[in-house]
C-alpha cells in the first residue's frame, strides 16, 4: 500500500512508555505511511534515536538548531503531528506556550491536526494542574488520546497508562486522511 502526501510527524518525550511508540511507528511505516520522528532529550534516556531511524529510514532530530530550523522544517512537512507519549512536563509547556526544545517549538509552529497521548503516574495525571493543562489543550483543538487505567511501572494503579497503540494509530490515521 502506497500512501502519498505529507508525512506523519511523531514526537517522543521522556517516559518509560516511549518504547511503545516503536510499535506505533512500525505499524504506520509497514502500512506505507511516511513517518518522521523527533524526540526530546529526555526521551533519549529511555530509547535511542537509532531505533526510530531503523524503523523509519530517516534521521531523528533532537536539537532544533543542529540543521537549520528543524521546528519549521518539521511543521512544514506534516499532515498530522502526534506526541506519543506526552509527559506532564511537556503537556504543561504546551498548554502555556513554552517553547524550549524541538518538540515544543514544533508544537507552537504546527498548523496541522495535533494528537497528544499522555502517559504518566496516575497520581500525576489526577493532579488539578495536569487536568487544567489537558483541558486547555483540548480547548485549543488538540485531539487527546486519553490514557487507560491500569498498573503503571512503579506499581501505582489508575488512569495514566498510555492509550492502546491501536487507539492512537486510529486517531492519527483519521487526522492524516482528513488533512492529506
Cβ atoms 35, 97 nearer than 8 A = no
Catalytic residue among 154, 156, 166, 170: 154
Give the position of cell 494542574.
129
Residue 2 belongs to some domain of the structure: no
Residue 170 belongs to some domain of the structure: yes
The string of pLDDT tens digits covering residues 67-82 is 655 556 555 678 999 9
Residue 152 belongs to some domain of the structure: yes
Residue 1 belongs to some domain of the structure: no
- Statement: residue 40 has pLDDT above 70: yes
Residue 43 belongs to some domain of the structure: yes
The string of pLDDT tens digits covering residues 101-159 is 999 999 998 989 999 999 999 999 999 999 999 999 999 999 999 999 988 888 888 89
Residue range(s) defining the domain that contains residue 60: 7-179
Residue 132 belongs to some domain of the structure: yes
Residue 125 belongs to some domain of the structure: yes
Q: Which of 128, 133, 129, 126 minimizes the C-alpha distance to 147?
A: 126
- The question of whether 154 is a catalytic residue gets the answer yes
Domain with 79 in it: what CATH number?
3.40.50.1950
Cis peptide before 84 (omega within 30 of 0): no
Residue 75 belongs to some domain of the structure: yes
Backbone angles phi, psi at 133, to 5 degrees: -65, -40
The Cα 129–Cα 5 span in angstroms is 38
Number of domains, the chain: 1
Amino acid at each position: 500500500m502506497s500512501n502519498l502526501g505529507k508525512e506523519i510527524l511523531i514526537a517522543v518525550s521522556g517516559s518509560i512508555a516511549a518504547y511503545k511508540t516503536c510499535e506505533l511507528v512500525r505499524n504506520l511505516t509497514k502500512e506505507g505511511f511516511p513517518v518522521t520522528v523527533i524526540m526530546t532529550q529526555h526521551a533519549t534516556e529511555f530509547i535511542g534515536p537509532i531505533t526510530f531511524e531503523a524503523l523509519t529510514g530517516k534521521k531523528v532530530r533532537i536539537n532544533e538548531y543542529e540543521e537549520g530550523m528543524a521546528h519549521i522544517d518539521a511543521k512544514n512537512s506534516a499532515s498530522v503531528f502526534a506526541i506519543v507519549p506526552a509527559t506532564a512536563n511537556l503537556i504543561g509547556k504546551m498548554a502555556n506556550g513554552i517553547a524550549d526544545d524541538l518538540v515544543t517549538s514544533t508544537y507552537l509552529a504546527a498548523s496541522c491536526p495535533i494528537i497528544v497521548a499522555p502517559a504518566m503516574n496516575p497520581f500525576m495525571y489526577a493532579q488539578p494542574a495536569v487536568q487544567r493543562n489537558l483541558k486547555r489543550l483540548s480547548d485549543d483543538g488538540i485531539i487527546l488520546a486519553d490514557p487507560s487505567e491500569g498498573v503503571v511501572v512503579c506499581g501505582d494503579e489508575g488512569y495514566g497508562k498510555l492509550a492502546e497503540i491501536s487507539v492512537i494509530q486510529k486517531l492519527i490515521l483519521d487526522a492524516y486522511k482528513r488533512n492529506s
